Amino acid sequence: MTAYDPNNIFAKILRGEIPCFKVFEDDRTFAFLDIMPRAPGHTLVIPKAAARNILDIDPDDLAAVMRTAQKIAHAGKAAFAADGITLMQFSEAAGGQEVFHLHVHVIPRHAGVALKP
């Protein structure tokens, strides 16, 4: 496992060094809009703890991330009148990960509407 890099983009967002559109925050997690949304309301949920991905994160932090993801799912369904929700999580480059601070994508979905590429 490659070591956690504290200079990744999401660590900078957590430290307030890069702006974001914050959606939610609690003691263990932070949620903000994806800069290239694949559907309206596309939100990223991250732990405040340093964790590279699913292979690295403390289980209690992962549980906190998933609790927040559920909150965001409910809020996204209501705010966007969504028919469903897609969660995605990519770990390591081979798994499709591009930013190496764990994040869960929460994406409101509408019937018959494909995700943007």
> Contact with ligand 5GP (CB under 6 A): which of 27, 59, 98, 114?
98
Give min distance, CB of 55 to ligand 5GP, in A: 14
- Could you give the residue numbers annotated as active site? 103
> Contact with ligand 5GP (CB under 6 A): which of 24, 28, 34, 77?
34
Q: Where are the beta strands (DSSP E) in the chain?
A: 22-25, 29-33, 43-47, 84-88, 104-109
> Contact with ligand 5GP (CB under 6 A): which of 9, 66, 75, 87?
9
Residues 77-96 that bind ligand 5GP (CB under 6 A): 90, 96
Give min distance, CB of 110 to ligand 5GP, in A: 19
User: For ligand 5GP, which is the closer residue by CB, 20 or 72?
Assistant: 20
CA distance 101 to 23: 18
Give min distance, CB of 38 to ligand 5GP, in A: 7
CB atoms within 10 A of CB 82: 20
Burial group, residue 31, by CB count within 10 angstroms (0-12, 13-18, 19+): buried
Burial track 51-73 (b if 16+ CB lie within 10 A, e otherwise): bbbbebbeeebbebbeebbebbb
Binding region for ligand 5GP (CB under 6 A): 9, 18, 20, 32-36, 90, 96-99, 103
